[in-house]
């Protein structure tokens, strides 16, 4: 399943990049395949449960950094037919060229 | 933690209300406090892991109904200071009246 | 068209209710039909252009209040067949009872 | 302002890539700077009004393709201090290396 997460700590000032990079460290530690973009991080996970555990760890790490409140947005694209990040982009790009 | 979920089955036609109501049945079966609105369902959960398990059950139920693909959007508002759905709305409404 | 907006000012501290209520004042001033919930505000608008102008006004108002950065999430459900907030919820609730 | 849009036509079957590529064609025709990723398209726009007009054009194009219903998700990051897509990612990657 392909998902995108955006983690927005609140109450820690205007600059959030150190919190976002800490979240990426958790993702790396878990060995999850990811792709960073300017508005979020796209991941490949097997289930919402796996995603939930990952988000709890990220939330703990950011709380330890002092974040009193964290706003999170998740977009998920579950599909019975197996797919991955590369195929999704490739399918669109092929149609763009046609 | 207060979250809002939107479940959008793809490949099952234009009308989605029977799928959304099935998702609400799963939420009810789990005894999770919820509030339906025209663009999603707000829930109170203890963790992202609890949310993940709930979403996996919803995903299974909709797959059983024939949905080959499901798009899900989650917005979550975690806060160290305990809060609930009613307090969040009340805090805004009080400021509206002032 | 039915949309839901969430406005999250960043860099103004942990409590956001005064900013959210100011956003609602802009919506009221514009005479847009709305419904507040714990994770956002559902609106009925005629087009994305109308929504865009509304969001620009909200952004200006919050900037005037001192917000240096604002995170906004919009979910929109455009449908050729006319519908409204009440019908969307009613369609789901009817299926819940059946 | 940096935004990410996800356009999800409903009622047109399971495969959406031809609709997403059509949306990208509209973005290209408008000369808007964009970056495609597996869960959306990140754009740089000057205002929500500009974004609204762009989304109306995309909605019209997809309606012409036969989509009876379109679900859209927008995440926007407005910041008083000028920034761009590259700087946002670079700020995070630098912290990852430190």
Residue A71 to residue A80: CA distance in whole angstroms: 29
Predicted confidence (pLDDT) per residue in A6-18, tens digit: 999 999 999 999 9
- List, edge to edge, every strand of the sheet that includes A40-44: A34-37, A40-44, A2-10, A69-79, B69-79, B2-10, B40-44, B34-37
The answer to whether residue D77 neighbours chain C at the CB level (below 8 Å) is: yes
For residue A41, give the nearest of A24, A54, A19 by alpha carbon: A24
pLDDT (average), residues C4-20: 98
Those chains having 3 or more beta-carbon pairs within 8 angstroms of chain C are A, B, D
Beta strands in A2-98, from DSSP E residues, in sequence order: 2-10, 34-37, 40-44, 69-79
Q: What is the pLDDT of residue B98?
A: 83
> Where do the domains of chain B lie, and which CATH numbers do they carry?
2-97 (3.30.70.930)
Predicted confidence (pLDDT) per residue in B15-56, tens digit: 999 999 999 999 999 999 999 999 999 999 999 999 999 999
pLDDT (average), residues A46-61: 98
Residues of A in contact with B4 (CB under 8 A): none
Residue C4 to residue C69: CA distance in whole angstroms: 20
Q: What is the pLDDT of residue D98?
A: 83
For the cut 90, the answer to whether the pLDDT of residue B75 exceeds it is yes
Q: What is the pLDDT of residue D90?
A: 97
Mutate to test the interface with D, among B13, B62, B70, B76 (most CBs of D within 10 A): B13
Choose the closest CB to A52 out of B48, B59, B68.
Answer: B48
Predicted confidence (pLDDT) per residue in D36-87, tens digit: 999 999 999 999 999 999 999 999 999 999 999 999 999 999 999 989 999 9
pLDDT (average), residues B60-66: 98
Choose the closest CB to D17 out of A24, A85, A91.
Answer: A91
User: In this predicted complex, what is the ipTM?
Assistant: 0.97
Which conformational region is residue C77 in: left (phi greater than 0), alpha (psi within -120 to 50 degrees), or beta?
beta
- Cβ A72–B76 below 8 Å, yes or no? yes
Residue C24 to residue A82: CA distance in whole angstroms: 43
**Angstroms from B49 CA to nearest CA on chain C:** 19
Cβ neighbours of B41 (radius 10 Å): 21
Predicted confidence (pLDDT) per residue in C29-62, tens digit: 999 999 999 999 999 999 999 999 999 999 999 9
Residues 6+ apart with CB under 8 A from C54: C26, C27, C30, C32, C43, C45, D48
pLDDT (average), residues A19-47: 98
Residue C73 to residue A75: CA distance in whole angstroms: 12
The answer to whether residue C72 neighbours chain D at the CB level (below 8 Å) is: yes
Map tokens 């959960």 to a residue.
Answer: B45
Residues of B in contact with C23 (CB under 8 A): none
Cα-based distances in Å from B18 to A79, A80, C81: 19, 20, 18
Residue C30 near residue C87, CB atoms below 8 Å: no
The answer to whether residue A66 neighbours chain B at the CB level (below 8 Å) is: no
């Amino acid at each position: 399943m392909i998902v995108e997460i955006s983690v927005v700590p609140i109450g820690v000032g205007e600059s959030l990049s150190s919190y976002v990079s800490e979240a990426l460290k958790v993702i790396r530690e878990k060995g999850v395949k990811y792709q960073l973009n300017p508005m979020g991080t796209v991941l490949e996970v097997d289930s919402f449960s796996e995603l939930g555990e990952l988000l709890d760890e990220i939330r703990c790490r950011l709380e330890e950094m002092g974040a009193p409140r964290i706003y999170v947005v998740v977009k998920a694209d579950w599909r019975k037919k197996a797919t991955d990040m590369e195929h999704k982009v490739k399918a669109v790009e092929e149609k763009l060229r046609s």
